[in-house]
Every structure is written in C-alpha cells, then in structure tokens.
Amino acid sequence: GHGSSSNFLRQIIERDLASGRLAQRRWGGSPGDGSHHARGLLDPARIRTRFPPEPNGYLHIGHAKSIWLNFGLAQEYGGVCHMRFDDTNPEKEEQEYVDAIVDAVRWLGWSWEAHGTSHLYYASDYFDFMYRAAEYLIETGHAYVDEQTPEQMRANRGTLTEPGIDSPYRNRPAAESLARFREMRAGRHPDGAMVLRAKIDMASPNINLRDPAIYRIKHATHHNTGDAWCIYPMYTFAHPIEDALENITHSICTLEFEDQRPFYDWLLERIVPILRAPQFERARQRIEALRTQGLEAGKEFALRCHNAGAKLGRNTHAEQRMAALFARWEHDRDAVLRDLPTFFDLLLGELHQFTPVLAQALSAYEPEPFDLPHQYEFARLNLTYVVTSKRKLKALVDEGIVSGWDDPRMPTIVGLRRRGYTPEAIRLFCERTGVSKAPGWIDYSNLEIALRDDLEGKAPRAMAVLDPVKLKLTNWAQVFGSADHREPCTALAHPQRPELGLRQFSLGPEIWIERDDFREQPPKGYFRLFPGNQVRLKYGYVIECTGCEKDETGQVTAVLATVVPDTKSGTPGADAIKVKGTLTWVGVHEAVAAEVRLYDRLFADPQPDAGGKDFRTVLNPDSLKVAAAYIEPSLAQAPAEARFQFERHGYFVTDRHDHAPTRPVFNRIASLKDSWGK
C-alpha cells in the first residue's frame, strides 16, 4: 500500500498487477502456469501510460497534475509513460507549442526515455493508419459518409429525452460511402460538405453513441504533415487508436471523457484485426535491428523465443515450424546459433503467423501486449484564483492582460517557473491534492504551502528592504570612534544548514529599514520603532529610536536612533537588554539596488470563470507592484533563477529573463505566512 498517498488509480494498477492481468495480457498465460520462468528471464510486467497534450498552447498547472499522474504511476510501477503530441487538429497547433511542452515536461523532472527507447510520439504520424481504420469501418459496415448539412445533423441528433433520427445516408451501400470517403480525401469536397460517421445507435441514451462523426474535411495545413491531408480524424476517434497503437495499458483522462468511454471501447473492438498490422511492422523492424546487432543479440533473442514458444499450441504450420526450431534448441543450441541467419529469415518470413511467440519474445525489448487499452477517468484539477483553459490563457496573452505565456502570474508551467516555483513544489502539490473521482476545487494556498515546504529547507536566507526609509544612527561616531567605522556582521546562509556557509555584511551609521517598521504614533501591540522604543537590528545591535525627520508634506524622510553599546548579537552580554522587536536592514554603504516584483493573484475572484462569468471582469488590480528595493550585498552576484528567503518577507527568485548582476530583478514567489513579531 501507499498509505495516505494512495489513490484509486494506484488501486486499479495494483489490482491489475496482483491479479496477473497485466502479465496475462502480455504473456498469454497466468503467473501461476510456469511463465514465471519466462518473466524472470524477460523484463517485469509493465504498465504503460501516456501524457497526450494537444500542442495548441502552453501547459498549465492542470497539465502538471496529469503529467505527475501519468509519469508518476509509470515510474512507481516500473512502467513507461509515453510523451505523445495529440496533434490531430491542424488549425491551432504549432511547433512553438510542441517545443514549449517538451521543455515544460523535462523541467518538471520527467523523461520519456525508457529501456533504451525514446517514447516520444506524434498522433499525426498515425494518420495513415487512422485513415485505414476508417476505411475498414466502412468496409465492415460500421461507418458511413453522411451528406446532411451540419444543421440537419445537429437537429437529428435528438435530446436527452428524445432519440435521434437516422440520417437518410445511414444505410447507403459500403461501396458508396467508400467512394465518397476517398473523394473527401482527394480534396474533391469543401469543408463541411460531408463527414464520416460511425454507425452505432441513433437511439442510444448516450448521445456520444448516436453515430458520432469520426472524420471531417478540413483544408488546412498541419504543422507536421503539411498539406498531405485535407481530412482529419475527430479527437474521439483518434485518441483510442493512438492508445492502442502504443500499447497503452491505462489511458488516464479527465471526467469529461467518461461518456466517451463506450465509444472508445466500441471502436477498438471493431478494429482489432487491423490493429495488429502496425505492431507486426514494428516487430519486423525490431527483429531486423536485432539481426544486425550480431550473435549475442541473436542468441538472447532466440532463447527468449524458445522460452516463450514452449508454452504454445502447435496448431498452424507456422507454429509447427517454430516448435521444430525450438526443439533443436533443446538438444543442439550450437546448431541453432550457427543457424541464426536462417532463424531470423524464418521469423521475418512467417512474421504474421507467429503472433504469440513474437509478442512474448519481443516484449523483452518492448512489451507488445496485443491487447486493448482501458480508459480511466479522474476529476480534473480546478485551482481557485486561476483559469486553466488554454483558450482563456491564450486570451490573457493575446489581449495584453499579462506580459506573455510566462508572465509570473500565469498558472502555466513557464509562468510558475518564472515566478520561482520549483518542480519539487509542484510535484508535492500534486501529491498532496491527490486524485479523486469527484469534481472539486483546490485552494490556491495549497500551491504556496507546497512551495514554502520545499524552499524552507533549501533557500538561502538574505535581508532585503522592499519599501526603504533611511535610519540614521546618530551616536555612531561616538560609540565606534569614527563615522567611517563599519561593524562586520555574519549570519548563516541557512539557520539549520551550516554547511551552506556564512553571509558577510556590515553595519554603518546609515541603514535602510522598512518604512512600516517606524511609527511616530504606534498602534497598540506595535513592537517596532517608535520614539523611546528599543529594537534589535538582526545580527547587529540593539538600537533606541529617538525621533524622525520629515519633509514639508509630513512624509518621514529619515528615522533617527542611537546604538546601544555592547549589545551585538553573538557577543557576551548581548541579551542583557530584552527587546520585543527585531528588524531586518541593509547598510546604506553597501546595499545593492534591485527591482522587486511583488506578484499577487491575477484574479480577485476565487472562481474567475465559473458559471459563464467573464474572467476579464474580475482581474485583481494589484496583482503586480514593482518596488525599488535594497538587498544584502551577498546577493549581488546571484545568477538567474536563484531562490532566496528574504527574511520576514517571503520567498523570492531572480527573474529568469530580466535579472542580471548589474541590474538585479527579483520576483516574489510567495510571502511567508506569519512573519511579523519575529
């Protein structure tokens, strides 16, 4: 078990593994029947998942959940997760998005390189097969070309309570549909003139089964296939085929697709006979590759074939020939090995006859379960205060509401990255929020909590003054003998991790403090600076406030204070004076000026797009404030994407694009929860 982090998908997978269903699907035998031997020799049973984004935008936090789930489950159970571009819709897809998605998934820490193979796939590479599957459905009486207008089709679909009405084209001869479909492909008809529909049941209570469209005409250039096609498969038709061709075992998707599952299963069951052809082609290529690898690879492969073949029937001529070959292996391995070229010729020549043997033997190299995938649904992630729809995110970018896909207020992966989120924090968030079958909302604060929990133990500390006012220590020269004296101070880079080293800075007669750390008239319970009060300068001395300087508008231009001698932190007697407030500060003589971008939620409404609301009307006007801050000199050389905890303020990161040591730019990732009074 996986304790509190268990979820229903893990339970399904564990059930499949425990029951031997996965193994059974792969080996054609149950674990108890002696196939342990084969399994011991071969790789362990594997699950196969996939992450299938459409390259029509940048990935967002909802995708991170799906990525975590698919790659995470595959990793956890020793399987493989395919990175697949679901690029069957030409109009909105672009190479820019493909590249950005690859970057995002890698940055999140996942890889699709497994067992020596890159599992990066494009659905558009299967267009030939999908077209064949469509023709096959027509030939077998399961699809027809419908020439009704889109309006007629919509009107005849029926309602939840009324059955649909059969199209007049529904029972046309297969040959006629086939001819029309080929014309569609040949570009002989304009967009929308006709569609190919699955022939299922116009009276089904599940509207998705009322003869859904599976191919439509679209005279559009595709980012991968160019102008090779002017018809494109519908997502609901393409997706199950993609899963089946890639031997996905668990096809995980969001709840909206639950009603599509019957069609998913309907379709795959009908095309089983042709599904095997591309698998054989892949098997052939793999055998060719093994053959060129020479004796060792051939030997191993022959051994695997032998072990797999031992459990076969001998019904066909091909099986008998195979069995004869294996029989020779039993008493004269050397002869079989000498005969390896013949062995491969036999395999290749009779490939289509050897399904079970090859399936098992080849599964050592890449499992070929020769079985159909299953779809499982979970509730999509809804995060408060953000929108997670690529279309709406694109609108925010296109309308200039944010600075781009990677604006630090965007819930995109690039946005979160630029904001300073770590892959670990995002993963932690995904794990903690779990997987459910019930739709719901997750509060945005969970993301911030995960970030804090990740950075708390990692991020070096530093002092920064975000809203500076000058503080003058009026007795400095008197106490230290010279106005030029600088009092060296040190602090641990991280209070619990001395191995991260020390920060060095110094105190002088003028320092920057937060404007809010001084009040001429303190409210009740205010422990910071006000005339007559004493506070500690962190890592420095106790000081006593004596007053302030103001300009003609009454604005405080400087706070005045005196140093209390012999109170330096870390020296004997430092604690003799008890104070209730500790202030962060930066010496004027060495402070580094920095731009600090104080980000907050982009929307003021927790559900910015719920119930048809226009998210543009609920923008948070204060989602970005830019501050001219002063930071500790130790941060002057920070590289881009370096994360720090600014003491009392929260977590900050140097901006991925705009930061330079000569012009430091920090983004606030998240504030500290409860920072005052410390």
Contact 447, 424 (CB under 8 A): no
Single out the segment in contact with ligand ATP by CB under 6 A; choices: 47-55, 224-232, 394-402, 665-673. Answer: 47-55
Is 524 annotated as a binding-site member?
Answer: no
Beta bridge partners of 464: 631
- CA atoms in the 13 A half-sphere facing the CB of 557: 6
One residue of 28, 31, 53, 423 binding ligand ATP per CB under 6 A: 53
Active site residues: 54, 380, 390
Q: Tokens 């027509």 appear where? A: 138
Q: List binders of ligand ATP among 630-669 (CB under 6 A).
A: none
C-alpha to C-alpha distance for 663 and 655, rounded to whole angstroms: 11
Q: Give the separation between CA 544 and CA 576, rounded to whole angstroms.
A: 15
Nearer to ligand ATP by Cβ, of 139 and 443: the residue is 443
Q: Mark residues 235-274: x for contact with ligand ATP by CB under 6 A, - for none.
A: ------------------xx--------------------
Integer Cα distance of 155 and 114 in angstroms: 49
254 is in an annotated binding site: yes
| Residue 65 binding result from Mg ion, ligand ATP, none, given CB thresholds of 5 to 8 Å by partner type | ligand ATP
The DSSP code for 619 is B
- Judged by beta carbon, residue 360 or residue 433, the one nearer ligand ATP is 433
Considering beta carbons, is residue 62 or 423 the nearer one to ligand ATP? 62
Q: Which residue has the tokens 């018809």?
A: 231
Give the integer Cα–Cα distance in Å for 121 and 427: 24
> Does the annotation flag 327 for ligand binding?
no
> Binding of ligand ATP at residue 607 (CB under 6 A)?
no
64 among annotated binding-site residues: yes
84 is in an annotated binding site: no
- Strands 624-631, 195-198: pairing is unpaired
The residue (of 93 and 647) whose beta carbon lies closer to ligand ATP is 93
Helix, strand, coil percent values for the chain (each to nearest 5): 40, 20, 40
Question: With contacts defined by CB under 6 A, how many residues of the chain interact with ligand ATP?
Answer: 14
Rule CB under 6 A: say whether 389 interacts with ligand ATP. yes
Q: Using CB under 6 A as the criterion, what x/- string covers residues 61-90 for binding ligand ATP?
A: -xx-xx------------------------
Query: Contact region for ligand ATP (CB under 6 A) — 380-388, 416-424, 493-501, 608-616?
Result: 380-388
Task: Please give the structure tokens belonging to residue 307.
Answer: 């072990």
The neighbouring-strand residues paired with 490 are 504
Q: Is 311 annotated as a binding residue?
A: no
Tell which positions 165-184 bind ligand ATP, by CB under 6 A: none
Q: Cβ of residue 263: shortest distance to ligand ATP, in angstroms?
A: 17
Q: How far apart are CA 92 and CA 108, in angstroms?
A: 25
CA-CA distance, 449 to 444, in Å (whole number)? 9
Q: At its nearest, how many Å lie between Mg ion and the CB of residue 253?
A: 9
What is the number of other CB atoms lying within 10 angstroms of the CB of residue 558? Answer: 16
Strand blocks (E) in 456-583: 461-462, 464-465, 468-473, 487-492, 502-507, 510-514, 534-537, 542-550, 556-563, 582-583
- How many residues in the shown chain lie near Mg ion by CB under 5 A? 1
Question: Which residues contact Mg ion (rule: CB under 5 A)?
Answer: 54
Question: Which residues contact ligand ATP (rule: CB under 6 A)?
Answer: 52-54, 62-63, 65-66, 253-254, 380-381, 388-390
- Binding site for L-glutamine: residue ranges? 86, 235
- Binding site for ATP: residue ranges? 54-56, 60-66, 254, 380-381
